[in-house]
Structures are given as C-alpha cells and as structure tokens.
Chain A
Amino acid sequence: MSTASAPSPQPSRRTAGRGSETRSGEQVRGRSLLARWGKWLVSGPPLLYLLVFFAAPTLIMVLASFRTPGEFGGLAPLIEEGKLDLNIDSYARFFTESIYAEIFLKSVWYALLTTLCCLTLAYPLAVLIARAGKRYRNVLLLLVILPFWSNFLIRIYAWMIILGPQAALARGVNGILTALGHEPVPLLFSSFAVLVCLVYVHLPFMVLPLYANLEKHDQALLDAAQDLGANRWQRFWRITFPLSLPGVYAGAALVFIPALGIFAIPDILGGPDDSLIGNVIKQQFLETRDWPFGSVLSIVLTVAALVLAGSAAWMGRRNLGTPSSSGASRA
C-alpha cells in the first residue's frame, strides 16, 4: 500500500501519451486505497479494544440478566435438560421489590446533590483560573489535578481521619453543638461524610471542563455588554453564564455519572443507611453472588445514566440555540 501511495516520479518511466495516463491512474487508485484503508488502520485498534473490553462484556451482562442464578452463586447452566433457560425473573424482582427502586432513587439524589455542590464550588474557581494571568493559570490547574497523584482509596481513608471523632473538626463542631445545648453528632459514617467525599472526589471533573469553556470566552463580549449598559451581575447572567452552559453540561455529566455508580465512598465513609446502587451491585456480584440480579441493576444504572446524559446534551444544544458546533466554539 505504501509503495502505491508514495509518489516516486522516475524520469525514465515518464513516457508520453498512454503510459503517463496509466501511471496517473495508478496513483489515483493508490491514493484512494490509502484513503479507504487509512482510517481503518488508525481507528482499528481502539475499535477492537472497545469491542473486546466494552461491547462484549456489556452483551454478556445483558445475557446474564436473563439467566437463572446458580445454586452456589454465579450462573445456572444456560441449557438445562435440553431447554434454554432464559427468563425475566430478575427484572420482575427489581420492579416488584421497592427497596431497590428506593436505593436507586437515593443514588440519583446523592449524585444530583454532588453535581450541584460541585457546580457551585467549581464555577467561581474556574472563573478565577480562567481570568488569572497566563503565568498563574497552569500552576492553578496543576493544583486542581494534584489530588489525582495519590490513590483514590487513600484519599477516601484520609477523610476518615479528617472526619473521625477524635479529629479537630468533629471536636470543634460538637463543642459548639453541646455549648448550644444540642446532642453531639458523629461526622464519620454518615450521609454527610459520603456527600462531602463525593464532592471532594468529583470537583476536578467539574472545574476542568468549566475552565476549558470559560478560558475561551471573548473579553470583547463582556466589554460590549458593559458598553450597552449591563452591570457586573447582568454581564454574568446574560453573557458569561449562558455561554458557559456547554461546560456546565459537560462537567455535570462527568460528575453525575460516576457519582451515580460509586460504591467505595459509601462503603468506607457511610453509615448503615448510606448504601447506594453501586454498593448493591457490588454486593450482588461479590457477596450474594446473584449475578443475574446484579446484571439487571447494572443495566438499569447504565440506561439511567445514558438517558440523563443524553437529555442533558439535548438540553444543552437547545438552550444554546445553535445546533451546529459554531456556537460552542464561539463560546
């Protein structure tokens, strides 16, 4: 292929008339061959990777969700006594036992709260970084992603220490509470601890897309708005915020979706009532060993995440008013 595409004009082979015509024809064909196969060559490996490690497992999971759990965990044989054993029992269970729907809704609520907290904390920070001098921007961004340099679990365990009953924070808070005549509260192993850690872990995922968006904003637009009579507040709500919506939606998706399926944080920092859907799924696979039901929960979670992310993207486009990418790029 490379020999056909590489143009190596040799004077000796350059003859007049038909000869050169055939040659240029070959060159065209060579180029189109490269054009046709080149993109497969480039996109082939990642495509193969996705097929083997994403599409196939998802399909296996879908299949597992219709099967019967094995007697000692795992899956019962697919073909038993000559009959294909596929059923919707596990789906029926999800929709009839309300506890799972409740946990699922609670997870959505936690993820939503996390997203909102991240947005309110990240927005001012992203604005600050985007408007900082060029010299400081990279340092500030580095500080935002610095936590990624240490292990996720270690960072969660660090919160155990920060929120622990002997730590200064808990003592201070409870000191104030008892002084005011209230009962002391445990900070650790509570919904509060889960939420604080969820926000902490996901904050960079909100800051980065917001910063990427805000950094591209044209100062001339803010000047124009000010020139046309808009005060600081109006400039933010009429210009900066609507133009940053693509960043807000991107950040919201990056926070909401992982927060929805998380299990490590409630496991380590949560109380007995703080199990989220991720914990239940993990439980189904590792402890209860009911793989079909675990698969059902995973599928519900995936579908819910897709629907929410899809509708957020759709809303983002609609709010921006421009279906093309130019609106986003101008922003």
Chain B
Amino acid sequence: MALLEIENVTRRFGDFTAVDNVSLAIEAGEFFTLLGPSGCGKTTLLRMIAGFLVPDAGRIVLNGEDLAERPPEVRPVRTVFQSYALFPHMTVEGNVAFPLQMAKTPAAELPGKIATALEDVRLQGFGKRYPHELSGGQKQRVAIARALVTHPTVLLLDEPLAALDAKLREEMQLELINMQKEVGITFVYVTHDQTEALALSHRIAVMNNGRVEQQGEPSKIYGFPTTRFVADFIGHCNLLSGPVSANGGGIVTVDVTGLGPVRVAAETALPTGRPATVALRPEKIRIEAAAPADTPDNHYRGTVSDLLYMGDVTVYKIDTPGGQKIEALLANSASGRTQFFEVGDAVEMSWPVAAGHFIPE
C-alpha cells in the first residue's frame, strides 16, 4: 500500500469545483509533483493534505490512517509555503526551534537539533539572524530546515521556488533533489513550472480543471502525453489532426489537413476514417535546406515564417504550402553557425515514424 493515498477527493468552493474526484497514490520516499496552470486545483489539494481544507468527498489516508479527524497541527505533515512564512519576530534559530518546542522536545536537545537542521540546508552561522536580514534563497532554506527538523512523514512544498530568480532557482532545484535523497522524506511538490517538475520529480501528476489529466514519470509525461492538454502544457508540441487513412505493418497513416499523410508507429491499428491526433515534439523534426539524402518516413516542404533565437537552440515556425503551421527546434551546436535559416527560407522537414505518437481521444 502506498504511503499517502488520496481517494476520490472532491472539494468545491461555492459553485466552483476546485478538486474533482482526484485519486493518487504516493509512495514512501517519492518526489511527487502536482503540476498544472493556476486554478487547476493543485494548491487546494495540497492544503487538503496539510489539513487546512477539508475534502467535501473522498478520503486522504496516510500510513493507513484516515486523516479526516486530524487538524493540521497534529498531522505528521509539514508545509513549505510559497511566501516562506518565516516568523519575523524570531531569529533563524527561533524559527527552527518552533516546531521542536511545539512537539515538547526537551530544551537540552534543541541546540543540537537546530544545528543539524541548519547544517542540512547549509546555513551554519546564520542562527542569530532575523528573517529580514536574509536573502530570498536563505529564507527558503530556513523554511525547509524548519519544516524538516521534526522529521515529518511527508513534506509539502507549495511553489517554493517561484519567488527566486532563474539562476538561484536552478541551484535550489539541485539542492532540493539532493536534500530529498538524503533525508528520504516523501516530498509532495506543487508547481506550475513544467521544466521544474520534469527536473525534480520521480513522478508527476498533471492537473487541469480540478482533475488529474495524466500521471507518471517525467519521461513518460513528456514523451508520451495522453491528452491534448498535457501535450500542450508540458513543453511545446505540434498537434496534427486528421482522419486515419491507412493501417499496415504497425504503422498508421493520418491525413493531416494542410500537410498530407503522416505515418506514425502504433501498436494497435486504428479504424480507417476515424479522426486522430498525433503529438510531435518540435525537437524531433529534422529541418534541412535541401531534400534529405536518405528516404525518411515523413517528408514535407515549408517556409520559415518566424524564428526565435534562444541561445542554445532556435525555434522555427514553419508554414506548409497547405497552411499547416509546424514548430521545429534546432540545436545551434548542430548548425555550426549561430543561425541556420532566415525568415522566408524554404526548408525540408522530415521525421521518422517513431517520432510522433497518438493521443487517445
């Protein structure tokens, strides 16, 4: 049985259903992420696990025990808040000591436990400072030290890196991964940032409109999105729709409007004439100036209509003569030049059958 089981949980605010019949099973020691746009219900779900909100329906079971009767202060669950919520009138030590004091830890044990907790987040020597004397990253670490010092069963993190700048965020991501590995505590992480979710998590649940759209490992979520929403929300994705025109040899052909027949590897045959959608990541598309030397599975022509130079990669928006828009991504290291194509250049696009996959509809 999983450590934390969320069973058919629903929560409404007036007419609005924030969390709609969600079921999740989170294993011990897992780094689990709830990912979704704002208003998708991820924070509501987190607050229900913390105990600040009560589910209208369903159960939240931790270690086999239904948490319904337990208010937040007696749940073995700790939260790292987005605003850090450090107590401004207490020093770093005072903040970290707070949960220990609430747990009636003998005073003699406090200094040792505080020192260890501050060491774990690399904040030795900051004990006497006040929160307003710390940088954003340091505040973040204090919040984590304070939440972990009593060794909770589950740590909930509510967009903890949202307020940090990009460079620091990346550093903190690595630290969070290492910290979670070291302490072995189950992390439930909430974010709207898909790259953060992909980088940090063992498993991700993508939420939208209060429901879980898809859950699984980051590579599964990114590589094989099962819904249009997931394909679109996680990274960029070309969604090519049209009726199935042929089946054979493990390859399904879809007649995509404005592009032509697209051949995709599929385990099961699809009935001919049925509409289908193919998800194709921009980086899986090869673009060249001249026709490819080999004979690729899928091959089309187009014109560059727009480009975004991103430093490491360039994103090309390509229009086909039929009016279909395709997004392709080219690593600048591969091109050997800072920029390979200009707006208006004619290009040849190609990709193998294994590049795309069907989104069940």
Contacts and interface: CB of A to CB of B under 8 A. Distances in A.
Interface of A: 218, 220-221, 223-231, 234, 238-239, 242-243, 320-322, 324, 326-327, 330-331
Interface stretch (B75-83, B238-246, B315-323, B352-360): B75-83
Contact of B91 (A243, A321, A324): A321
A241 B288 CA distance: 69
12 contacts: A220-B81, A223-B52, A223-B85, A224-B81, A224-B87, A228-B146, A229-B99, A229-B102, A320-B89, A321-B91, A322-B88, A326-B88
Nearest to B130: A322
B74 interface: yes
Contacts of B77: 227
Given A229-B73, A229-B102, A326-B132, A239 B87 contact: yes
Given A218-B83, A238-B98, A227 B88 contact: no
A221 B90 CA distance: 12
Contacts of A229: 73-74, 99, 102-103, 150
Contact of B88 (A223, A238, A243): A243
Given A243-B89, A324-B132, A230 B81 contact: no
A239 B130 CA distance: 15
B84 to A, nearest CB: 8
Contacts of A225: 87, 98
Interface of B: 50, 52, 71-74, 77-79, 81, 83, 85-91, 98-99, 102-103, 130-132, 146-147, 150
Nearest to B156: A227
A78 B261 CA distance: 113
Of the listed residues B88, B98, B131, the one surrounded by the most CB atoms of chain A closer than 10 A to its CB is: B88
Q: Shortest 10 CB-CB distances between A and B: which pairs?
A: A229-B102, A224-B85, A228-B99, A330-B88, A220-B85, A326-B132, A227-B79, A226-B72, A242-B89, A229-B73
A322 B132 CA distance: 9
Contacts of B130: 321-322, 327
A240 to B, nearest CB: 11
Contacts of B131: 330
Contact of A223 (B81, B89, B91): B81
Nearest to A234: B102
Given A224-B79, A224-B87, A234-B102, 7 more contacts: A224-B85, A226-B72, A227-B77, A228-B98, A229-B74, A243-B88, A322-B130
Contacts of A238: 87, 98
A229 B99 CA distance: 6
A331 B99 contact: no
A231 B50 CA distance: 15
Contacts of B90: 321
A242 B87 CA distance: 10
Contacts, number: 78
Contacts of A228: 73, 78, 98-99, 102, 146-147, 150
A234 B87 CA distance: 14
A227 B72 contact: yes
Contact of B78 (A227, A230, A326): A227
Contacts of A324: 132
A321 B52 CA distance: 30
A327 B89 contact: yes
Contacts of A320: 89
Contacts of A243: 88-89
A221 B78 CA distance: 14
Contact of A330 (B99, B132, B146): B132
Nearest to B103: A229
Contacts of A231: 73
A226 B146 CA distance: 13
Contact of B50 (A227, A327, A330): A227
Nearest to A243: B89
Contacts of A327: 88-89, 130, 132
A327 to B, nearest CB: 6
Contacts of B150: 228-229
Contacts of B85: 218, 220-221, 223-224
A231 B102 CA distance: 9
B83 A220 contact: yes
A331 B73 contact: no
Of the listed residues B73, B90, B103, B132, the one surrounded by the most CB atoms of chain A closer than 10 A to its CB is: B73
B129 to A, nearest CB: 11
A92 to B, nearest CB: 47
A228 B86 CA distance: 11
A221 B87 contact: yes
B102 A230 contact: yes
Of the listed residues A220, A228, A243, the one surrounded by the most CB atoms of chain B closer than 10 A to its CB is: A228
A268 to B, nearest CB: 43
B102 to A, nearest CB: 3
A81 B99 CA distance: 78
Contacts of A223: 52, 72, 79, 81, 85
Contacts of A218: 83, 85
Contacts of A230: 73, 98, 102
B48 to A, nearest CB: 13
Contacts of B81: 220, 223-224
A162 B361 CA distance: 78
